[in-house]
Amino acid sequence: MLDALHRAAVFCDQRIGWNRIGVALSLTIIAVAAVVLYRILRTMDASEVVEALVTIDLRDVTLAALFVAGGYFTLTFYDLFALRTIGRSDVPYWAAALAAFTSYSVGHNVGASVFTGGAVRYRVYSAWGLTAVEVAKICFVAGLTFWLGNATVLGLGIAYAPLAATAIDQLPAWFNRGGAFVILIVLALYVGWVWRRPRIVGRDTWCVNLPGGPLTLLQIGIGIVDLGFCALAMYMLVPGEPNIGFVTLAVIFVSATLLGFASHAPGGIGVFDAAMLVALWQFDKEDVLAGLLLFRLLYYIVPFALSLLILGGRELVLAVRGVSPPPLEPIPSLAPTEVATSPEASQEQA
């Protein structure tokens, strides 16, 4: 079985190309979401959506805004954790917070977050002497935190409420629950793997020391708290009746977010919204759409505007001081490609 999977992977890599597969997958997701969204929106009454917007309880909107703020506060620890992982404990928390908030806000809205967010990070961290390779390592560790958190939330959430995933993928509940247990087993194997001894990913200047067992649990905790805050914000903006439960909403929210992420559309626009509208079928569509519009305002537009103001003000101050932008260093390789199990193994590869 593993040999067959390996041959299939080699065939896709050599004959088709993973980039082409990724683009085709993104376009397929966007096309399907566009059709679904069009069919849903054409049956809606715009006046009812406006009415739903103005009738949302201000207390719920305020709580949602606080939860969004909590989510972005948690995102700052993605970068702080990554900085400490790569050995840059000299960079203070406020610099990590500035880089994380602005890079995620810009990346969420512009799209291609690996490049746009990475460029913002480099502009901020270069003032502390970080190289392009070190910034790339930060992006890698922060991305690992994101995926570990998502895997944990989806694994536990779907195992508890498999019908929530069924609302998204239309697969049987037993199949989704089985997939959740597979996710949790793989996650447990990874934690055990990094717990046994130091693990190094990459080669040459790209080497990254993966966090050990206890730090990986901390890493997972950061991801869970971040997703929890975001799901709570969305939970406050959906109608109170019928009550579907927070875990169910969290599974739907995370699944829809990952679909939007896979589409590479800025902010997952269209894809995330279509998935949420389909999954939350038990609510009035106008009420759900009103909640989605408010969530986009709170989570995407407001932070993006604040980031532009912060970055613009920072650049103005640097220009007045006569500080020129640092030259972008050439990156030796696009991604870590090899795994070593100890520092000695890494040195042998080099």
Q: What is the pLDDT of residue 275?
A: 86
339: which strand partners?
201
193 Cβ neighbours under 8 A, 6+ residues apart: 199
Residue 234's pLDDT band (boundaries 50, 70, 90)? very high
Burial 204-216 (b: 16+ CB within 10 A, else e): eebbbbbbbeeeb
At 35, list the tokens: 């059709």
Spell out the SS3 assignment of 200-249: EECCHHHCEECCCHHHHHHHHHHHHHHHHHHHHHHHHHCCCCCCCCHHHH
pLDDT in tens, 65-122: 999 999 999 999 999 999 999 988 899 999 999 999 999 988 887 766 777 788 889 8
Can you read off the two tokens belonging to residue 201? Answer: 């990913």
Instruction: Please state the rounded mean pLDDT for residues 265-269.
Output: 73
Alpha carbons 258 and 262: distance in angstroms, whole number: 6
345 has pLDDT over 50: no
**CA distances from residue 91 to 49, 87, 99, 103, 124 in whole angstroms, order as listed:** 46, 10, 11, 17, 11
Q: What angle do CA 248, 252, 256 make, to 5 degrees?
A: 170
Other C-beta atoms closer than 10 Å to the C-beta of 221 total 16
Cα-to-chain-centroid distance, residue 16: 27
**pLDDT confidence tier of residue 224, bands split at 50, 70 and 90:** very high
Average pLDDT over residues 299-311: 90
DSSP code at position 301: I
pLDDT at residue number 23: 58
Residue 350 binned pLDDT confidence (cut-offs 50, 70, 90): very low
Prediction pTM value: 0.80
Q: Find the range with the poorest average confidence among 26-35, 171-180, 202-211, 324-333.
A: 324-333
